[in-house]
């Protein structure tokens, strides 16, 4: 298919679709650091600077893809909703479709959009597509199916063709693998910025990589190693945790602070998720209609649903379309991590002391020992992953 990429970011959707055999006709991205990455990594693809100024989609566009801004929809953001200044930009997708309809549309966003304002954001989207004659399907997909990062995102596929979007998005389903872990054998990732109301952590994985801030304040997760060291991962491993090659975002440092790379990675679409979707776009499977269930009338949106042109239905399906073999997080990491600072560690422990959160036995003790080593100057400047210093990842919803 010929792809027009709107809100392209650093090209996660487009790189994944390209790996599945599709071709980008155009990219559009407003943020200069992201545009610099796109220009370097997709040098032969025309790059438009602003979706609001884009007059029309390229002729011959088969599929429009848009990871539209999530800041107004995210739990971590302003939660202003679909009408927020940034997330409301998705309206330009429909403006462009009205001028030149495309057979297929793929949207990606945070799973919180299903609940925000009692589902108003998603309701507006599905009504807009239905008014334009599109059938649709959506599903929450977890990047853990592909890589050691727990990251749930909504994929939304709509089409005006005879193909059923459910055959693309809802034909594959696997049970999540059981991954027994222990603090002295596996890496555990967690968010050191939390500790009172919640602790985002993942066994043998990292929690969702966040976007940090547009002025370059990074927000990497921490990783507790089996040795008891607590580190934050190198940006190059963060890129790999999203499925990009090492230093994919390096060109961004030419136009801004190097720490902006964390925002670029945190905002990106996980590449192998996009590749899986791209392969199903090229070769749809067969949806099992026994998964259909009544959508309900309480206004709540489930984690998966579809519209066949007549009726909206809830779909009983999990967040793992596939189950890829992958190394443990400790073996996945290739680059030196940075020890979590005294200030950050002390702040985390202080917050957990005031909370009612429950932690795995030994977890807080290991974090306290890390603090003691750092305060005593015994900690190394950098902590290297590898056998014997494996990086345990603590992940809790």
Residue 395 has pLDDT above 70, yes or no: no
What percent of the chain has pLDDT above 90? 74
Q: How far is CA 183 from the centre of its chain?
A: 26
Q: What is the pLDDT of residues 39-56, one digit of tens each?
A: 999 999 999 999 999 999
- pLDDT recorded at residue 112: 83
Q: Which alpha helices (H) appear in the chain, and where do they start and end?
A: 12-19, 32-41, 91-99, 120-131, 165-169, 235-241, 260-267, 271-282, 329-332, 342-353, 363-375
- pLDDT recorded at residue 75: 42
Residues shown for the chain: 397
Query: DSSP letter at 368?
Result: H
Q: What is the pLDDT of residues 236-259, one digit of tens each?
A: 999 999 999 999 999 999 999 999
- pLDDT recorded at residue 199: 81
- pLDDT recorded at residue 76: 45
Average pLDDT, the chain: 89
- Mean pLDDT across the stretch 378-396? 42
- pLDDT recorded at residue 379: 52
Strands (E), the chain: 2-6, 23-28, 47-48, 63-66, 104-110, 135-142, 152-159, 188-190, 201-203, 222-224, 230-232, 292-294, 304-307, 312-315, 338-339
Q: Which of 176-180, 274-278, 392-396 has the highest mean pLDDT?
A: 274-278
Q: What is the pLDDT of residues 93-143, one digit of tens each?
A: 999 999 999 999 999 998 888 887 778 888 888 999 999 999 999 999 999
Strands 63-66 and 104-110 turn out to be parallel
User: What residue ranges define each of the domains in the chain, with the CATH number in brackets?
Assistant: 2-176+270-315 (3.40.50.150), 188-265+327-375 (no CATH)
Strands (E), 182-221: 188-190, 201-203
CB 335 within 8 A of CB 234: yes
- pLDDT recorded at residue 177: 81
72-76, 157-161, 261-265: range with lowest mean pLDDT: 72-76
Closest CA to 8 of 62, 49, 59, 40: 49
- Mean pLDDT across the stretch 51-77? 78
What percent of the chain has pLDDT above 70? 89
Task: Report the catalytic residues.
Answer: 70
Residue 34 has pLDDT above 80, yes or no: yes
- pLDDT recorded at residue 215: 64
- pLDDT recorded at residue 86: 43
User: CA 348 to CA 3: how far, in whole Å?
Assistant: 44
Residue 262 has pLDDT above 60, yes or no: yes
Looking at per-residue pLDDT, the higher value among 116 and 335 belongs to 335
Looking at per-residue pLDDT, the higher value among 328 and 179 belongs to 328
- pLDDT recorded at residue 181: 85
What is the three-class DSSP state of 105?
Answer: strand
Residue 34 tokens read as 């992201």
- pLDDT recorded at residue 390: 34
Looking at per-residue pLDDT, the higher value among 91 and 315 belongs to 315
- Mean pLDDT across the stretch 192-209? 90
User: CA 190 to CA 364: how far, in whole Å?
Assistant: 12
Which residues does 208 contact at the CB level (< 8 Å), separation at least 6?
A: 149, 150, 151, 152, 200
104-113, 175-184, 362-371: range with lowest mean pLDDT: 175-184
Q: Would you tell me how many other CB atoms lie within 10 Å of the CB of residue 19?
A: 16
What is the three-class DSSP state of 254?
Answer: helix
Residue 344's pLDDT band (cuts 50, 70, 90): very high
Strands 23-28 and 2-6 turn out to be parallel
Residue 276 has pLDDT above 50, yes or no: yes
Estimate the crossing angle of helix 260-267 against helix 32-41, to 10 degrees.
70
Q: Model pTM?
A: 0.90
Residue 26's pLDDT band (cuts 50, 70, 90): very high
User: CA 304 to CA 287: how far, in whole Å?
Assistant: 13
CB 188 within 8 A of CB 222: no
């Amino acid at each position: 298919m010929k792809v027009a990429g709107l809100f392209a970011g650093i090209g996660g959707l487009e790189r994944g679709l390209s790996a599945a055999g599709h071709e980008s006709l155009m990219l559009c991205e407003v943020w200069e650091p992201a545009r610099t990455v796109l220009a370097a990594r997709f040098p032969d693809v025309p790059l438009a600077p602003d979706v609001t100024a884009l007059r029309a989609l390229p002729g011959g566009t088969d599929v429009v893809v848009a990871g539209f801004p999530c800041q107004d929809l995210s739990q971590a953001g302003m939660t202003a909703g679909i009408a927020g200044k940034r997330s409301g930009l998705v309206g330009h997708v429909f403006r462009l479709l009205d001028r030149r309809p495309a057979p297929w549309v793929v949207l990606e966003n945070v799973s919180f959009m299903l609940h925000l304002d009692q589902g108003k954001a998603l309701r507006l989207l599905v009504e807009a597509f239905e008014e334009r004659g599109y059938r649709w399907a959506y599903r929450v997909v977890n990047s853990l199916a592909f890589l050691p990062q727990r990251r749930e995102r909504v994929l939304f596929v709509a089409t005006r063709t005879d193909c059923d979007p459910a055959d693309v998005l809802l034909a594959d389903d696997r049970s999540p693998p059981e991954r027994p872990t222990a603090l002295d054998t596996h890496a555990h990732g967690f968010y050191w910025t939390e500790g009172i109301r919640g602790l985002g952590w993942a066994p043998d994985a990292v929690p969702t990589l966040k976007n940090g801030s547009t002025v370059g304040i990074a927000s990497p997760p921490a990783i507790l190693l089996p040795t008891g060291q607590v580190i934050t991962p190198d940006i190059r491993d963060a890129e790999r945790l999203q499925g990009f090659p090492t230093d994919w975002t390096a060109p961004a440092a030419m136009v801004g602070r190097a720490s902006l790379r964390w925002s670029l990675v945190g905002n990106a679409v996980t590449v192998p998720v996009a590749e899986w979707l791209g392969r199903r776009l090229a070769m749809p499977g067969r949806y099992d209609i026994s998964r259909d269930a009544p959508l309900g009338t309480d206004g709540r949106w489930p984690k998966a649903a579809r519209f066949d042109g007549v009726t909206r239905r809830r779909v009983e399906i999990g967040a793992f379309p596939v189950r890829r073999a992958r190394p443990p997080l400790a073996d996945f990491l290739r680059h030196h991590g940075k020890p979590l600072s005294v200030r950050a560690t002390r702040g985390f422990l202080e917050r957990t002391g005031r909370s009612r959160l429950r932690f795995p036995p030994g977890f807080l003790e290991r974090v306290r020992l890390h603090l003691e080593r750092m305060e005593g100057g015994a900690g190394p400047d950098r902590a290297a992953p590898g056998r014997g210093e494996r990086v345990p990842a603590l992940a809790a919803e």
